Amino acid sequence: MRNMPAVLVVEDEPAIAELVAVNLRHNGFRTTWAMDSASAQREIDAGVPDLILLDWMLPGESGLVLAKRWRTHPRTKDVPIIMLTARGDESDRVAGLDAGADDYIAKPFSTKELLARVRAVLRRRAPEPVGESVKVGELMLDPATHRVTFGAQPLKLGPTEFKLLHFMMGSAERVHSRANLLDKVWGDHVYIEERTVDVHVKRLREAMAGAGCMIETVRGAGYRLTARPESVVTQSEKAGA
Ligand code: CA
Query: Minimum mean pLDDT among 47-51, 100-104, 168-172: which range?
Result: 100-104
Domain range for 12 is: 6-125
Res. 177 pLDDT band, cuts 50 70 90: very high
What type of residue sits at position 83? M
Does 124 have pLDDT greater than 80? Answer: no
Whichever domain contains 173, its CATH number is 1.10.10.10
For residue 17, report the distance from its CA to the centre of ligand 1, in Å.
Answer: 10
> Mean pLDDT, to the nearest integer, of 140-169?
91
Of 70, 93, 125, which residue constitutes the final position of a domain?
Answer: 125
Q: Give the integer Cα–Cα distance in Å for 71 and 48.
A: 13
Res. 189 pLDDT band, cuts 50 70 90: very low
Q: 7 φ, ψ to 5°?
A: -115, 130
Of 125, 153, 177, which residue constitutes the final position of a domain?
Answer: 125
Res. 78 pLDDT band, cuts 50 70 90: confident
Is residue 1, in this structure, part of any structural domain at all? no
Q: Please indicate whether residue 33 or residue 194 has the higher confidence score (pLDDT).
A: 33
Q: Give the integer Cα–Cα distance in Å for 185 and 165.
A: 9
Q: Give the integer Cα–Cα distance in Å for 179 and 91.
A: 18
DSSP 183: I
Res. 127 pLDDT band, cuts 50 70 90: low
pLDDT in the model for residue 35? 95
Does 92 have pLDDT greater than 80? Answer: no
For residue 54, report the distance from its CA to the centre of ligand 1, in Å.
Answer: 9
Does 135 have pLDDT greater than 80? Answer: yes
Is residue 141, in this structure, part of any structural domain at all? yes
Whichever domain contains 21, its CATH number is 3.40.50.2300
Of 86, 106, 125, which residue constitutes the final position of a domain?
Answer: 125
Task: Tell me the per-residue pLDDT of 202-230, one tens digit each, with 9 for 90 and over.
Answer: 999 999 988 889 999 999 999 999 998 87
Q: Kindly state whether residues 111 and 140 are assigned to the same domain.
A: no
* 21: region left, alpha or beta (phi > 0 left; psi from -120 to 50 alpha): alpha
> What pTM value is reported for the model?
0.56
For residue 206, report the distance from its CA to the centre of ligand 1, in Å.
Answer: 51
Task: Tell me the per-residue pLDDT of 56-74, one tens digit each, with 9 for 90 and over.
Answer: 999 999 999 999 999 888 8
For residue 74, report the distance from its CA to the centre of ligand 1, in Å.
Answer: 27
For residue 11, report the distance from its CA to the centre of ligand 1, in Å.
Answer: 6
- Determine the length of the chain: 241
Is residue 160, in this structure, part of any structural domain at all? yes
Q: Kindly state whether residues 119 and 149 are assigned to the same domain.
A: no
Protein residues within 5 Å, CB atom, of ion ligand 1: 12, 55, 57
Q: How many domains does the chain have?
A: 2
Q: Kindly state whether residues 102 and 81 are assigned to the same domain.
A: yes
